[in-house]
Structure 1
Amino acid sequence: MKEYLSETKSIDYMNPIIQEKVKELKEQSSDDADYIKRAFLFVRDEIPHSWDIQTNTVSRTASDVLKNKTGICWTKSCLLAALLRANEIPSGISYQLLTIGEDDSFGHMIHALNTVYMDDLDKWIRMDARENVGDDDEEFSLDKDYLAFSPREEFGEVDYQDNNPDLDEKLINLLEKTENLLEMELDF
């Protein structure tokens, strides 16, 4: 469990800007469950996905996302993990392989979301702070997975249902060499 509480280069929760947001969220929260919900809703609703707003800004770390007020799913998941880990709530990153377009004609991309250990339930759940996309109007729940996308097998989409302590090194390297987010090579 220790690795899901550790600070990493991508999940830089000791950064002062992260610590300031953690303090603000803690002051508003009644308990850990409320804190998790507030952190999730903040990342989902207050941090727009970079491609949705068509910005070329590249956020590479959790603190970059908070400072730039935007990030792609990979780094939005780093921000949520940072906010949770800073409050001693274990969190990881899980991946899905999704199509770039409506079908597989444009290839596939990696989508990242979070895992969170619910101590009271003695289990991991997954939550996706990408933004509420599609027709899913289901209420946020700490009892079951809350995902933005349901992979479509007919287009080669995959839900890996994995749990990683940090952002994948290939994704970190891709972000580091990208100067303009809108020009980043996505097909995996």
Structure 2
Amino acid sequence: MRLTPETADEAAYLAADDIIDHDHPLVRETAAGLRAAVPDGGRYAYARAAFEYVRDAIAHSNDTGDLRVTCRASEVLRERTGICHAKAHALAALLRAEGIPAGLCYQRLGVVHGLVAVRLPGHGWVRQDPRGNKPGVDAQFRLDREQLAYVPDHRVGDYDHATLYAAPPGPVLRALRDAADRPHLDTLLPVRA
């Protein structure tokens, strides 16, 4: 899918902020551990390792029944749980911590589903879905073609959002911040980013 960056300022896709807090010590420590485990030290191998870490080591709270709502990347890494949006924040932070441009993008699947787009040399922006795999869901890190957790069903009004955000859009951020717990979050998630 072709994404439209919300800003032409590439630095925005490398920046730390309150949510994608890649300057936090825990994010830096996690990134350093992933970097050390990458045999060739390349950007592609690191990006894949970061994706697989967030996909596999951070539980999707809806799958596990965890009632906690996480939002900030460092919080997601500390608590090791989050919904798709929170996991996307963590992956974006881990990528940006190593100087790899990363943005947030979304699908409408009844409600907004959070993804990450990464830009590596020779590939442009490619969406990745660190949601977490389960029966019927097989998201993989790929640059040659997308292999996301879900394909929108256009017959029921689902679609891919074309905007690539540098920071979480207001409706998503408000839902995560205002939710008392995950069931409450389910009632707050927006239908568009």
Normalization by structure 1: what TM-score?
Answer: 0.89
Equivalent-residue separation in structure 2 for 1:170 and 1:161 (angstroms): 16
Q: For 1:3 and 1:134, how far apart are their aligned partners in 2?
A: 36
Does residue 1:53 correspond to 2:64, yes or no? yes
CA distance in 2 between partners of 1:18 and 1:115 (Å): 19
Q: Deviations over 1:167-188 (max 9, x none)?
A: 1111111211112122221363
| 2:187 aligned with 1:178 | no
| Alignment length (residue pairs) | 178
Quick one: which of 73, 76, 80 aligns to 1:69? Answer: 80
For the aligned residue pairs, the C-alpha RMSD in angstroms reads 1.6
Shift of 1:134: 5.5
What is the CA-CA distance between 1:144 and the residue it aligns to? Answer: 2.4
- Paired with 1:122 and 1:115, the residues of 2 have a C-alpha distance of 11
Q: Hey, what does 1:129 align to over in structure 2?
A: 130
Aligned letter for 1:79?
A
% identical equivalent positions:
33
Deviation at residue 140 of structure 1 after TM alignment: 3.5
Decide which of 119, 138, 151 is 1:117's aligned counterpart. Answer: 119
Moved more, 24-33 or 81-90: 24-33
Over 3 Å counting, the alpha-carbon distance change for 1:139 and 1:179 in structure 2 is: closer
Q: Does 1:82 align with 2:93?
A: yes
After TM superposition, give the deviation of residue 146 of structure 1 in Å.
2.7
* TM-score normalised per structure 2: 0.87
Corresponding residue SS for 1:3: helix
Match of 1:97 among 96, 108, 119: 108
Contact 1:113 1:126 in 2 (8 A): yes
Distance in 2, Cα, partners of 1:157 & 1:80: 24
Aligned with 1:43 (options 54, 73, 96): 54
In structure 2, do the counterparts of structure 1 residues 135 and 56 end up closer, same or farther at CA, with 3 Å as the change threshold? closer
Query: What's the CA shift for 1:156?
Result: 0.9
Structure-2 change in CA distance of 1:162 and 1:187 (3 Å): closer
Per the alignment, residue 105 of structure 1 pairs with none
One-letter code aligned to 1:183: H
Which of 10, 13, 17 does residue 19 from structure 2 map onto?
Answer: 10
Contact 2:129 2:139 in 1 (8 A): no
Match of 2:44 in 1: 33
Residue 160 of structure 1 corresponds to 161
* Change in CA separation of 1:113 and 1:176 when aligned onto 2, cut-off 3 Å: same
Instruction: Answer whether contact 2:71 2:177 (CA < 8 A) is retained.
Output: yes
- Paired amino acid for 1:91: A
Q: Distance in 2 between matches of 1:174 and 1:136?
A: 25
**Whole-Å separation in 1 of the counterparts to 2:151 and 2:133:** 13
